[in-house]
Chains A and B, each alone.
Chain A
Amino acid sequence: MENERSTDPKLAEVWARLDRVMDPELDEPITDMGFVEGVTVHDGTDVIVSFRLPTYWCSPNFAFLMAEGIKREVDALPWARDTMVQLEDHMAAEEMNAAVNAGGSFADAFEELRDGEDLDALRDKFDRKAFQRRQEVAIKALIARGQSVPHVLATTLATLQGARFSDATEVRQTGRYLDLLQSRKLAVAPDDPAFPTWEGAAITEQNFKTYMELLRSVRINMEFSGSLCHGLKRSRYKEVDLSGDTPTLVDFILQGKAEAPDKRSPPRR
């Protein structure tokens, strides 16, 4: 996939847009998760993106959010005239592909699965969790540098923007935290507090411990899904890293599966 990125400038542009699409549940780019199966550009204007998920059963609403995100991001390229998104090997692939590519809503595609909730509420919930998970990393990073709780809570937007971290996760998550903080207008002016709650309230010294417990539980849940999804995706499509290692039993067991194309694309109903 990296090769594809470097050989063709238009493909590289599409991949760069896809880096901006998150798995909503995990707050990780779908490209990092290995969900994007292939990108092709036809006649220099028409883009086809195919993607697949860790299991046939992955929640249709999450899949829909990703499909929609792919279409939105690729459509934003000035030269892209037509974007086709193809979800593969999923129980709801047919209905979903038809709905996304026609610009329809999740509600249209999955009337019977809706159960009264709407997708906007779900989107908002995932944004909140992403915010909280990123925020925990930033707060803990400051504490790990020896800052006191009152000092951390007094951090302003400008101070956090100016802070330099060395750990890769801290750098990445703090940057993403700042993005969300500003796009959601939770901190705007340079001396706005850098660590409000998602609802815009202040975290006080008194409730700091309880608040950090909340952030911890958000992280534990997201990490569970994240590590399961990573592993299941690898197992499903046999993407076990073999670099330098001798093959293990799993390679032989899964070999048949990886080499049999009919098994990778189950027949459609």
Chain B
Amino acid sequence: MFKTPNGKEIFVVDGHTHFWDGSPENQSNIHGKQFIECFYAYHTNLSPPEHLWEKSKFEKYSAEDVYRDLFIDGPDDVAIIQSTYLSDFYKTGFSNIERSSSMAEKYPDRFIVNGTFDPRDGEKALEYIHYMHETFNIQGVKMYTAEWNGPSKGWKLNDPAAYKCFELLDKLGIKNVHVHKGPTIIPLNLDAFDVRDVDEAATDFQNLTWIVEHCGLPRLDEFCWIATQETNVLGGLAVALPFIHTRPRYFGEIIAELLFWIGEDKILFGSDYAIWTPQWLVEKFWDYQIPEDIASERGVQLTDEIKEKILGLNAARLYNIDVEAKKKALAANPMLIAAE
């Protein structure tokens, strides 16, 4: 719950968070080491200095850290935890569904844990989707098309093997597909940022909702084009939002483009925890106004109503969260705060 300076309570769904283990003990090789170091560079580069973490904590933090940072010190009401395996780099996976789900069990009502799969695993990928559905009743998945898998350095959403997996998701009612399309972490082919495969997959799977994390940046124009055409394509603000601190005017240009093209109902807040913690992001976002010249050029405004949608109501809609019921359930659970 975020309380505005006027005392208004804002319901916050953090659409993009992680519970990872990038520690040296879990790294399989130099790639695992470089991957978490790159994340750490994002953290040190775009966080306000008072929110910086020690490297060792950043590599591996506890369930208690997550709970405190998101819900006690932070404004989140519900957080969506994404799974990312990077099996070629990390022994037990970078952030696996079992570990995240055991955290979610400790803190009922707080987490939605999404799964993941790698279509290049063929039949095994389909079996794994069944396993996640039956064991964890997942409502969504996170796709990392840049993941390495033996000799393959990536895949596309419109690959035939991926389509088999999406058909199964559709059949099982797993609706939300989050896709990492942003700054390249593991580059593959000549244009690793490409978002065009989203277009094709979203057209062919109208029942699925496609949430493009990082809004395709630095391919914002291509993302906007696709998300404007396809009603089932949305954008997640993770990575774009921290610019609100380092380069506020630039953030204004991004959010103005998004509001103009894809509209206020298709933008989701995400802190990308633990790269960034949500409290400062939400505070700054609530305070923020698009610079006047940019707003008038684009004819858009970032009103309180729009901010409320972006911070929680849009994601609540996707994940069938009854906001009033959820607020009541959380208010009835003060024990969890005392337990800290």
B187–A220 touching, CB < 8 Å? no
Q: Which residues of B are found within 8 Å of A217, using beta-carbon distances?
A: 220-221, 224, 257
The answer to whether B55 has its CB under 8 Å from any CB of chain A is yes
Q: How many A-B residue pairs have CB under 8 A?
A: 112
C-beta contact mask, A225-269 vs B, less than 8 Å → 1, else 0?
Answer: 101100110111000000000001110011011000000001101
Collect the chain B residues with CB atoms within 8 Å of residue A61's CB.
Answer: 187, 190
One digit per residue, 1 when the CB lies within 8 angstroms of any chain A CB and 0 when it does not, for chain B 272-313 equals 000000000000000000000000000000000000000000
The stretch of A79-87, A108-116, A174-182, A193-201 that contacts the partner chain? A108-116
Query: Contact at B218–A248, with CB atoms within 8 Å?
Result: no
- Choose among A59, A250, A256 the residue that contacts B52 (Cβ–Cβ < 8 A): A250
Q: Is the CB of A222 within 8 A of B188?
A: no
Contact present for A267 and B189 (CB under 8 Å): no
Cross-interface CB contact of B218 among A55, A222, A266, cutoff 8 Å: A222
Q: What per-residue 1/0 map shows which CB atoms of B29-52 lie under 8 Å from chain A?
A: 011011101101110111001101
Take A114-B190, A266-B33 as given contacts and tell me if A250 and B184 are in contact as well, using a CB distance cutoff of 8 Å: no
Residue B106, interface by CB 8 Å: no
A218 and B221 form a contact (CB under 8 A): yes
B87 vs chain A, min Cβ distance (A):
17
Interface presence of B217 (CB below 8 A): yes
**In terms of DSSP, what is the predominant structure of the interface of chain B?**
helix
Contacts of A122 in B (CB 8 A): 190-191
A residues in contact with B220, CB < 8 Å:
217, 220-221, 224
Contact of A253 among B44, B246, B250 (CB under 8 A): B44
Contact check, B44 vs A59: say whether CB atoms are below 8 A apart.
Answer: no
**Contact of A91 (CB < 8 Å), options: B31, B40, B219, B247:** B31
A114 to B40, alpha carbons, bound, how many Å? 29
| Cβ of A35 under 8 Å from chain B | no
Interface size band for A: 35 or more
CB <8 Å contact, B187 and A59: yes
- A249–B43 alpha-carbon span in the complex (Å): 13
**Choice from A119, A216, A227 contacting B247 with Cβ under 8 Å:** A227
Q: How far is the CB of B298 from chain A (nearest CB, A)?
A: 9
A266 near B44 with CB under 8 A, answer no
Query: Which single residue of chain B is at the shortest CB-CB distance from A92?
Result: B187
Q: Please give the residue numbers on chain B whose beta carbons come within 8 Å of chain A beta carbons, in ascending order.
A: 30-31, 33-35, 37-38, 40-42, 44-46, 49-50, 52-55, 151, 153, 183-192, 217-221, 224, 243, 246-247, 250, 253-254, 257
Beyond known contacts A91-B34, A235-B45, A266-B34: 14 more, CB 8 A cutoff: A55-B38, A57-B35, A58-B184, A61-B187, A113-B153, A115-B189, A117-B191, A221-B217, A224-B218, A227-B250, A232-B38, A232-B45, A236-B41, A267-B30
